[in-house]
Amino acid sequence: MKLGSLSVIWCGVFSTLACGSATDAADTGVTNAASFEGIYRLTAASENTAGCATPTTSTLSRLSDQFFVITASEIFGQKYVVLNSCSSVSACQATRAAQLANRSYQIQYTYTLSSSTSSTTLNGFEATTGSGEGGQCVGRTYAEHVLTLAADHGVHLESRMKKLSDQPQHDGFCEVEPAKSKQEAASKECSSLEVLDGSFVQAN
């Protein structure tokens, strides 16, 4: 998700399946969510909008949400975690409660991690539908996220985004098939990189 954009999540815990993004059915689920859960203070945020080399621009001062909360959820038997931005510890607690209750909540940035690579690494991705324009779905994207946990319980996230080709609408709507988006993205150059770091504040 683009750092600095203001969004309202209307779908709560189901936002990974609706709202224009989806998780990969092939993901095995997160097996060590408890190690990552908690409230964190944002200590660094940067981006490179021209490619996926080292981030070139700090975005920390542009973000009003200087905290984030990591929360475990489960849908259809598959566990995943969501990183949602928030403006304070109390706001993080409210965001977490809204997510778990499937109520709307406002965020500046969010990332969903849907599988465990190791005890200290989670992976996830977002495949978007794009928007309808002249019978085409334009602005389609595919992003892969990697979240790592440090010995001091700090976390580091990198999100690499690729732009996908326009495609025709289906019965007047833009749809997303995660497996197909992932396959299409394999041959695309990475177009932008987002990085953030957080220090552990407290447990949920």
Give the model confidence (pLDDT) of 42-53 as tens digits: 999 999 999 998
Report which of residues 188 and 53 the model is more confident about. Answer: 188
Q: What percent of the chain has pLDDT over 70?
A: 86
Give residue 2's pLDDT band: very low, low, confident or very high (50, 70, 90).
low
Q: Is residue 100 part of a domain?
A: yes
Residue type, 125: F
Q: Is residue 82 part of a domain?
A: yes
Q: Is residue 146 part of a domain?
A: yes
Q: Is residue 173 part of a domain?
A: yes
Cα torsion angle, 71, 160, 19, 106, sign = positive
Give residue 27's pLDDT band: very low, low, confident or very high (50, 70, 90).
low
- Mean pLDDT for 61-80 is 93
Q: Is residue 37 part of a domain?
A: yes
Give residue 78's pLDDT band: very low, low, confident or very high (50, 70, 90).
confident
Q: Is residue 2 part of a domain?
A: no
Q: What is the pLDDT of residue 178?
A: 87
Strand partners, 179: none
Specify the pTM. 0.85
Which residue range(s) make up the domain with 12?
A: 7-202
Q: Is residue 1 part of a domain?
A: no
Q: Locate tokens 């778990």: which residue?
A: 100
Q: Which two tokens stand for residue 116?
A: 């465990």
Number of domains observed in the structure of the chain: 1
Q: Is residue 79 part of a domain?
A: yes
- Say how many C-beta atoms besides its own lie within 10 A of residue 115's C-beta: 20
Q: Which two tokens stand for residue 48?
A: 């490179």
